[in-house]
Structure 1
């Protein structure tokens, strides 16, 4: 049996309960029997799903949404200090708990796997959740995206394992004490919170330092930032380090990745033996994520051949190269990629899976700070597409930065030889794409904001 409800979580109130991370914790708590309430800025399928589980979800933020008997208020780093419910919590002396602390409390007493890295966290966490469930281990999990099969981002299982996506963006992953930690890659991102790679390394070192005694760090042997982190933490006492990747020095070495349309066949060398399994999503980066998941499961004592077979049951996460549909001979695919490395990886995956197709991208930059620091690289990544439409920056939690617009990306893309068009009115995009697309083309809606809403609208225009 999994642990029960921490006392502070018996009647929690979530501000921003519809968010990917917040909703997952709320779902687990409702399934454990907590009286969950919260608010979100707009109605959503997530809000409805939470209500169906028994949670109270208010739309909009108001002081009277917070019940006087709430045992805590759960917030993320995106919640501003002047939020009326947060202000009311202070007036009532109700404890305020960060999302990461709430999640950490749910992981206590379980064998936990925390998946970290600048890219690939959601996919790798999902792969583990699906594989462990397939093996009958009934894990609990909390993920930053909805699994394509179960259609949820979190569940409370009765088994002994908890798999969690560990977010480095605000250093919240430093709150966890995992038995196994995965670090997929280490790159500079989240520029509002990190000023340099040294700060990034320090943060990841703190995270790896929280692994329990005799625990295991599974880390890439290929990516330069991960290699440097490995060098820095090798001397930590009572920590087993297992490297994976295509490097000849990797402990779990990738012998071969063979693309097979929208899937891949992966052969690894583990403990001197060859093991081949299928990854049911396209792209080298997803194949490597599966190898990281394999290494982590083996570190928990799960037989490698069983785990490898179960990993083949993973069919994707919403917004991670998710096929939205096809109309007029054009496939529309949704990509969450918003960092240049992710953009490049997804575009290369599409090239490998559909070598004869034209690739059209609708890209929405995410965050002013990220665009300021990485806009040139974003534009260079778009040169991998046959043509792109670039929208205005999706601000999310940030205020505008003077002089920083999507023009920075567009100019870099054109300098790299890309065919790119600026579109400022999002509502006109479906018509623009319908006019560009031809039978056999692939259209990618790309970004972490509301660009995802355009997929069905593009399909409707193509059908008309």
Structure 2
């Protein structure tokens, strides 16, 4: 496995993707020279360029800057991509985004959030709670946070909060200390073929918990009975059969106010300035 300490230059093929750009920001924050290619210029690639990252928009090997210690590519890039073929044929270390996340998170305390929906919001909420509390974390988000206008932030704390993407089975490279599963509905059937195969991948993800790790999943998931761990908590919006759920939900001036029941304890006076009861449920997952 490549060592982070050996990386001085990184090149990204598909740098404008939401997950790829978070990795680019991670390496840039560590003082690594970052450059890359993307097919289309977007507001996100423009932000990366304004931070000092060099990007070009033509599949042209002659436009590659320097001699990278690591080349990162997204599975969305076609196999006949000229730059990707050049780096592979020339013997450069070439890794998928998920493989790089595995390297980054190796040795850290990892909170990994998976699910076919809800995971971006829950991941962002957890990272926000850790950041706002002063505890800190390295956050790898699958969307741009409305609060912080970025999909990545870092701290000296050796804690990673990671959106665990089921696409291309990427999340099966992670080793969570805390694993959260919000949903296992049919999605990415072009990858998995059947809903059963997708759900089996989530079960496999839960089995990747480190020894002594904590599994948190939504109460009542299909095949939820197959999700097992030594430390296991379920959550729900209001189902009292779950280990954690909301009570006394009220709405006032566009905000939700509620309590959270955690076993025999009650956390009172929670305010959520987001619309939709589904986001109350997402907040329950983050608080759990």
Mark yes or no: TM-score above 0.5. Answer: yes
C-alpha distance in structure 1 between counterparts of 2:83 and 2:254, whole Å? 46
Q: What are the within-5 Å matches in structure 2 for residues 317-328 of structure 1?
A: none
Q: What corresponds to 1:21 in structure 2? A: 19
Asked if residue 266 in structure 1 is aligned to residue 264 in structure 2, the reply is no
Asked if residue 206 in structure 1 is aligned to residue 189 in structure 2, the reply is no
Q: What corresponds to 2:227 in structure 1? A: 233
Decide whether aligned partners of structure 1 residues 178 and 109 sit closer, same or farther in structure 2, where only a CA change above 3 A counts.
same
Asked if residue 243 in structure 1 is aligned to residue 234 in structure 2, the reply is yes
Asked if residue 292 in structure 1 is aligned to residue 288 in structure 2, the reply is no
TM-aligned CA deviation for residue 263 of structure 1:
2.0
Asked if residue 100 in structure 1 is aligned to residue 98 in structure 2, the reply is yes
Segment drifting more, 37-46 vs 133-142: 37-46
Q: What corresponds to 1:279 in structure 2? A: 272
Three-state SS of the structure 2 residue aligned to 1:193 is helix
C-alpha distance in structure 2 between counterparts of 1:136 and 1:21, whole Å? 25
- Indicate if the aligned counterparts of 2:122 and 2:282 stay in contact, CA closer than 8 A: yes
Asked if residue 193 in structure 1 is aligned to residue 191 in structure 2, the reply is yes
Three-state SS of the structure 1 residue aligned to 2:251 is strand
Provide the aligned length of Structure 1 versus Structure 2: 284
Asked if residue 252 in structure 1 is aligned to residue 244 in structure 2, the reply is yes
Q: 1:313-360 deviations in whole A, cap 9, x for unaligned?
A: xxxxxxxxxxxxxxxxxxxxxxxxxxxxxxxxxxxxxxxxxxxxxxxx
Greater helix proportion: 1
- Indicate if the aligned counterparts of 2:11 and 2:35 stay in contact, CA closer than 8 A: yes
- Structure 2, unmatched stretches of 5+, are none
TM-aligned CA deviation for residue 186 of structure 1:
0.8
Q: What corresponds to 2:50 in structure 1? A: 52
C-alpha distance in structure 1 between counterparts of 2:287 and 2:63, whole Å? 44
TM-aligned CA deviation for residue 261 of structure 1:
4.5
C-alpha distance in structure 2 between counterparts of 1:155 and 1:121, whole Å? 17
C-alpha distance in structure 2 between counterparts of 1:9 and 1:117, whole Å? 32
- Indicate if the aligned counterparts of 2:189 and 2:195 stay in contact, CA closer than 8 A: no
Q: 1:9-66 deviations in whole A, cap 9, x for unaligned?
A: 4312111101100000110111012111111112222223223333221122222233
TM-score under structure 2 length normalisation: 0.93
Flag the structure with more relative contact order, 1 or 2, with Cα contacts below 8 A and sequence separation at least 6.
2
Q: What corresponds to 2:89 in structure 1? A: 91
- Indicate if the aligned counterparts of 1:20 and 1:144 stay in contact, CA closer than 8 A: yes
- Indicate if the aligned counterparts of 2:71 and 2:87 stay in contact, CA closer than 8 A: yes
C-alpha distance in structure 1 between counterparts of 2:31 and 2:108, whole Å? 18
Decide whether aligned partners of structure 1 residues 220 and 256 sit closer, same or farther in structure 2, where only a CA change above 3 A counts.
farther
TM-aligned CA deviation for residue 254 of structure 1:
2.2
TM-score under structure 1 length normalisation: 0.59
- Indicate if the aligned counterparts of 2:182 and 2:218 stay in contact, CA closer than 8 A: yes
C-alpha distance in structure 1 between counterparts of 2:65 and 2:89, whole Å? 12
Q: What corresponds to 1:171 in structure 2? A: 169
Q: What corresponds to 1:442 in structure 2? A: none
TM-aligned CA deviation for residue 175 of structure 1:
0.5
- Structure 1, unmatched stretches of 5+, are 296-464
- Indicate if the aligned counterparts of 1:11 and 1:34 stay in contact, CA closer than 8 A: yes
- Indicate if the aligned counterparts of 1:261 and 1:282 stay in contact, CA closer than 8 A: no
Q: Give the CA RMSD over aligned residues.
A: 1.7
Q: Tell which structure's C-alpha radius of gyration is larger.
A: 1
